[in-house]
Amino acid sequence: MEILKVENLNFTYPLTASPAVSNVSFSVNKGEFVAVCGATGSGKSTLLRLLKREISPLGETSGSIIFDGTDIEKLAPEKSASGIGFVMQNPEHQLVTDTVWHELAFGLENLNLPQNVMARRIAETASYFGIENWYDKKVSELSGGQKQLLCLAAVMVMNPQVLVLDEPTSRLDPIAASEFVATLKKLNRELSLTIIISEHRLEEVIPACDRLLVLENGLVKAFDTPQKAMLKLDEKLLRAMPAAVQLFRAVGGRGECPLDIRDGRRFIEEIFGSSITALPVSEYIHHENIAMRFKNVFFRYERNLPDVLKGLNITVYENEIFCILGGNGSGKTTTLSIAANLVKPYSGTVEIFGKKLKEYKNQSLYRNCLTLLPQDVQTVFMRNTVREELEGAEAEVEMLPFDFAKHMDKHPYDLSGGEQQLVALAKVLASKPKLLILDEPTKGIDADSKYRLVSILKQLKADGMTILIVTHDTEFACECADRCALLFRGELVSEAVPREFFSDNNFYTTAISRMTRGIYSNAVSVDDAVKLYNLNEGGEKPCL
């Protein structure tokens, strides 16, 4: 049964010439899981917001959106508010009230429901989402993943028929993100909830979805099952897709496109030769000088709290890209704060370019020496336009292979996550650091920006910079790092070049490494797998 039908939808923002959404038609059946993908600026968010009357953007609209048989413009306010649920990107600011229980009650209060009905709905929602244990907590005490789960529960408590999500996991770490997607899958399967979701991280969403809506410059490019839609994607969009899809397309696979690791592995077993199982390894030679060194560093935030870092030793050599990976609470961000002298360890020494931190007097550490790009890039911006921001910092825009021109007069907050990251990076680079420190640079950015970021970092390295990155993103670390290390409970537990690091790890590794385990010994990226495919080309198994 059809629950949502969009017909010839056009939308143009005020004072812009070209429409943001043009001639979009599609229909969604009850219980379908639809993923929406497209590059930044392809009209994803605009389209999703148009589906929710209360927050649809201002501008010129034509065409119709039919929800459950009624045009959404003509829906009763209660039906419109509760029938279509909407979850946004930023969990922090979607939360309205100070306590978990009040957040759950907020939507029901707006519907003016009596106390006993609210009590029942809140109770069943809280127990379904496993919120019972933190029901009395302040929302400020929750982790990012819990906050976004609360946002979802606070919408689900209103019992919507369609759930629309606009990049809900882009601010979450990968573990919280996959838990969030798993919850969506559960809602879809158990309650046959109709879900429409746009997402940057598609590794988990694509295998879960029934149909994929591909947008390009406001037009529908494809609306089909993911297997078929994959064949219509261009290279830029392909980068956002699961590794199995990228591999399938890269070797020109035919037939059913694999979507997840399991099918990807089957695909490799079927058509890849295995006479050559390893790629030649060239030894990594690091620079002799040390850029940053932690010696036996211990740190805790307060006297009576437990240690965050327990005798941490790190050596980063000059002119290398060093990636620290690790789960939540392993001390990654703390390590960076110590390196940037924002907090002080209670024991141990930290040297930057052979000089102890305390010998850098009068903020000289931050002049042409070291700089930190924090996780929340909004904390970097101090001006009203990108132009003021960059000129104020005396940034050389030319050095970044990114066209800032069309964004110059926008407010930094109005840019997409990826664009914000690049503007922030440009500003940070203005101080001409020798050591650049990045905290989770891939959080909230799309696949294309990530790709661009990798090439920028490689260019900076070629120009002689040392780069220290903390990340959750295994694919990103695999692409750009010279050496990777795993931080666990305040200590570095392993340290190696990416190829060795990721092929030795079983769980904390890249999708390709998981797919090729036991078939190839050291393939960690899509490029590696493609190389091995080509090396084996003409082997015992012919290409289908």
Interface residues with another protein (CB under 8 A) are 52, 54-55, 77-78, 81-82, 85-86, 88, 90, 92-99, 101-102, 105-115, 118-119, 122, 139-140, 151, 154-155, 158, 337, 340, 342, 361-363, 366-367, 370-372, 374, 376, 378-384, 411, 413, 427-428, 431
| C-beta of residue 45 within 8 angstroms of C-beta of residue 199 | no
As given in the structure block, the two tokens for residue 467 are 């780069």
Min separation Cβ 398 and another protein, Å: 20
Task: Please name the residues in contact with 456: beta carbons below 8 A apart, sequence gap of 6 or more.
Answer: 400, 401, 402, 422, 425
Pairing of strands 211-216, 355-356: unpaired
Give the count of beta carbons closer than 10 Å to the beta carbon of residue 254: 11
Min separation Cβ 361 and another protein, Å: 7
Min separation Cβ 97 and another protein, Å: 4
Min separation Cβ 431 and another protein, Å: 5
Min separation Cβ 90 and another protein, Å: 6
Q: Where are the beta strands (DSSP E) in 167-289?
A: 194-198, 211-216, 219-224
Edge-first strand order for the sheet with 219-224 is 84-87, 162-166, 194-198, 33-37, 211-216, 219-224
Min separation Cβ 211 and another protein, Å: 24
Instruction: Return the number of the residue (70 or 274) whose C-beta is nearest another protein.
Output: 70
Owner of token pair 């099918």: 263
Instruction: Return the number of the residue (110 or 289) whose C-beta is nearest another protein.
Output: 110
Instruction: Return the number of the residue (156 or 181) whose C-beta is nearest another protein.
Output: 156
**Distance in angstroms (rounded) separating the CA atoms of residues 202 and 33:** 13
Instruction: Return the number of the residue (99 or 494) whose C-beta is nearest another protein.
Output: 99
Start-to-end CA span in the chain (Å): 38
Instruction: Return the number of the residue (138 or 355) whose C-beta is nearest another protein.
Output: 138
Instruction: Return the number of the residue (68 or 92) whose C-beta is nearest another protein.
Output: 92
Buried/exposed code over 125-148 (b: 16+ C-beta within 10 A; e: otherwise): bbebbebeebeeeebeebebbbbb
Min separation Cβ 319 and another protein, Å: 21
Min separation Cβ 91 and another protein, Å: 10
Q: Where are the beta strands (DSSP E) in 57-204?
A: 60-67, 70-71, 84-87, 162-166, 194-198
Min separation Cβ 423 and another protein, Å: 13
**Distance in angstroms (rounded) separating the CA atoms of residues 483 and 325:** 11
Minimal CA–CA distance to 536: which of 260, 187, 275?
A: 275
Instruction: Return the number of the residue (383 or 531) whose C-beta is nearest another protein.
Output: 383
Instruction: Return the number of the residue (228 or 434) whose C-beta is nearest another protein.
Output: 434
Instruction: Return the number of the residue (80 or 277) whose C-beta is nearest another protein.
Output: 80
Instruction: Return the number of the residue (239 or 411) whose C-beta is nearest another protein.
Output: 411
CA dihedral (94, 99, 102, 104) in degrees, to 10, reads 60
Min separation Cβ 340 and another protein, Å: 4
As given in the structure block, the two tokens for residue 334 are 């703390």
**Distance in angstroms (rounded) separating the CA atoms of residues 441 and 459:** 16
Minimal CA–CA distance to 453: which of 433, 423, 487, 427?
A: 423
